[in-house]
Amino acid sequence: MGAGEMTFGQEYRFATRALTVTRNLVPLKIAIGLLCLSIVVLGTLIQFHPLGPHGLWPRLIHGVLVASALVVGMCWVVLPWPRRRVAIAFVWWADISMVVGACTLSAPASRLGALAHMGLIGVFAAFLLGWRVLAVHCVFATVAIFGLMGWNVRLGEATWFGQYVYSAPALSSVVLLPIIIQVVVEGGRRSLKAISLAAHQDPLTGLLNRRGVQVALSSLLSGQRATRIVAVVLVDVDELKELNDRLGHDAGDESIRAVAAMLATTTRASDLTARMGGDEFMVVGFFDHADEATGLIERIGARRFGIGPHRASVSMGSAMRSTSVAGFDFESLRRAADEELRGAKIERRNGFHAVP
């Protein structure tokens, strides 16, 4: 894979970083949560509608699905931005819940009408998760629509042609609209990617570069209103020069990429992970509680040995501080982490300490 190409996981992180830098990540997260909560309102009302679920089991199943939408919606509002695999699980939950919920309704029009809400799920997949997840969603939605139409015919409640006025809008909003959005978004994403890769991304690792993390930090720090715990972790690859001298620069590059991959899989999608140059990396996270910040530091520390094919190790320095501290300054926090890192390298220890 070339330096300019991205895996689907890297594309998700790219989109997340773009939303973070433009200060749209939190508003989007809350908007998704509110959409889930709106399903709770709609689902509650349909329980009392003549075309809603009839009978104990349909009402019970439908009620459980509505309750799950309440839980998921609150998670979107309260919890941090999810990792990609959690976002994919959200799409699966939403798709399956919509189809099962539609099956509990009592009329062809309400069943097919309920599936129209799956268009929102397709738009989410198109914007953030890439064409493969969207393709699975579209296939599943198409099968669900035609499956419900066939079920309605089998029950003698409708004809194939008679359902056209409901199925055509459902197919347009659930399948065609997300595909069109995906095509448009993909074109814009490639253009933005080319610009961003050149200016803000390290070509060797796919992480942010020094300029990229500075831009992201400037946006995040200026937009912080609530009190947060800020954690900084600095990481240096041990004896990289010796590895380059012994095995060549390709081996050194492999170790740098391996450390970058370790950091990418250890941190959250909302954390800022950057290669600052040479063998130095930096991770910055914003947390609601100190134990969450400590958890990030401990997760990285637990994986600092035996990294990649050349079994590289890293030295670490870390610091964390509340933004409510008088005179909070990110640069002083970074310097505190740098002092820890220098001490670890001087003592030839791979230890780490959190500065309160």
User: For residue 269, what pLDDT is reported?
Assistant: 83
Out of 140, 172, 199, a domain closes at 199
| CA distance linking residue 33 with residue 77, whole number of Å | 5
- Give the contacts of 14 (CB within 8 A, at least 6 positions apart): 6, 193, 196
Does residue 92 lie within any of the structural domains? yes
Same domain assignment for residues 111 and 69? yes
Q: How many other CB atoms are there within 10 angstroms of residue 349's CB atom?
A: 11
Amino acid at 80: P
Determine, yes or no, domain membership for 355: no
- 240 shares a domain with 98: no
Residue 54 tokens, joined: 């009839």
* 195 and 290 co-located in one domain: no
Predicted pLDDT of residue 2: 36
Q: How far apart, in whole angstroms, are the C-alpha atoms of residue 100 and residue 144? A: 10
Domain membership flag for residue 3:
no
Is the pLDDT assigned to residue 148 strictly greater than 70? yes
For CA atoms 320, 351, 339, 199, the dihedral sign is negative
Do 135 and 85 lie in one domain? The reply is: yes
Instruction: Determine the residue type at 273.
Output: T
Residues 316-336, mean pLDDT to the nearest whole number:
90
The partner residues of 237 in beta bridges, in order of sequence, read: 314
Question: How many domains, the chain?
Answer: 2
Mean pLDDT of 116-126: 92
Neighbour order of strands in the sheet with 280-287:
272-277, 280-287, 229-237, 314-322
My answer on whether 193 and 226 are in the same domain is no
3-state SS class at 229? strand
Q: How many residues does the chain have?
A: 356
- Verify that 142 and 96 share a domain, yes or no: yes
Distances (CA, A) of 80 to 231, 268, 323: 15, 9, 18
φ/ψ of residue 284, rounded to 5: -125, 130
Residues whose CB is less than 8 angstroms from the CB of residue 47 and which lie 6 or more positions away in sequence, other chains included: 53, 59, 62, 63, 66
DSSP codes joined into one string, 269-280: TTSEEEEEETTE
For residues 150 and 245, membership in a common domain is answered with no
Q: Please tell me whether residues 42 and 182 are part of one structural domain.
A: yes
User: Do 242 and 177 belong to one domain?
Assistant: no
Rg (CA), the chain: 25
Torsion of the alpha carbons at 106, 109, 110 and 112, rounded to the nearest 10: 110
**CATH code for the domain of 215:** 3.30.70.270
Q: Is residue 146 part of a domain?
A: yes
Interval 241-293: pLDDT, tens: 888 888 998 998 999 999 999 999 999 888 999 999 889 999 999 999 999 99
Q: Do 23 and 169 belong to one domain?
A: yes
Calculate the average pLDDT of the chain.
Answer: 88
At which of 179, 199, 219 does a domain end?
199
Q: Are 11 and 133 contacting, i.e. CB atoms less than 8 angstroms apart?
A: no
Query: CA–CA distance from 108 to each of 52, 95, 168, 172 (Å)?
Result: 11, 19, 13, 18
pLDDT of residue 189: 60
pLDDT at 132 over 70: yes
Same domain, 178 and 86: yes
Is the pTM value of this prediction over 0.85?
no
Amino acid identity of residue 339, one-letter, is: E
Is 205 inside any structural domain?
Answer: no
Domain assignment of residue 356, yes or no: no
CA distance 276 to 157: 65
Residue 227 lies in a domain: yes
pLDDT of residue 295: 95
Both 335 and 260 in a single domain?
yes
Last residue of a domain, one of 199, 231, 265: 199
Domain ranges, residue 337 = 210-346
* pLDDT for res 196: 57
Placement of tokens 């800020």 in the chain = 230
Q: What pLDDT does 1 receive?
A: 36
